[in-house]
Amino acid sequence: MAFPPHCLKESHEAELIDELVPFKNKMVTLYKNSTNGFMHPDFINVFDKIHADEFICVGCCTDICVLQFALSLKGYINQHNLKVGVSVVRDTVETFGLPGHEQGQFNEMAITLMANAGIKIIDSYKEIME
């Protein structure tokens, strides 16, 4: 199953959504050449530099990009016995629908896999805005 090109640099899909604008100063943008942003050559340097106590994952393609990044990040944190949380916000992730790739089913499957790996699932971005 190939997926359509999405979120290309300087495209509309790569723009920050309104709900995330208040957090812009807390974000780091790394343009990736892989579906797994964890594999970006600079990611670990950024990870080590910012000393975050929690990573909140958002994005398109819940079952591809978000899943791969969140699982890799969680695995890295576990391997190194770090006290860093990993969360995914349910209403800020989504996948696509195509024949053989039912949108709702694949989205829920990815959320379940992440939850089973110990990633905290937050229902709405409104919960972290409070």
Has residue 107 been placed in a domain? yes
What CATH number is given to the structural domain containing 40?
3.40.50.850
Model-level pTM?
0.89
Closest CA to 93 of 24, 7, 22: 7
Has residue 78 been placed in a domain? yes
pLDDT, tens digit (0-9, with 9 covering 90-100), for 75-101: 999 999 999 999 999 999 999 898 999
Has residue 113 been placed in a domain? yes
Q: Which residue range(s) make up the domain with 79?
A: 12-129
Has residue 2 been placed in a domain? no
Q: What is the average per-residue pLDDT within 10-23? A: 84
- Predicted local confidence at residue 74, as pLDDT: 99
Q: Is the pLDDT score of 102 beyond 90?
A: yes
* Domain count along the chain: 1
Has residue 55 been placed in a domain? yes
Has residue 4 been placed in a domain? no
- Predicted local confidence at residue 2, as pLDDT: 65
Has residue 6 been placed in a domain? no
Has residue 115 been placed in a domain? yes
pLDDT above 70: percentage of residues in the chain: 96
Q: How far is CA 78 from CA 3, 42, 55, 86, 114, in A?
A: 30, 20, 14, 11, 14
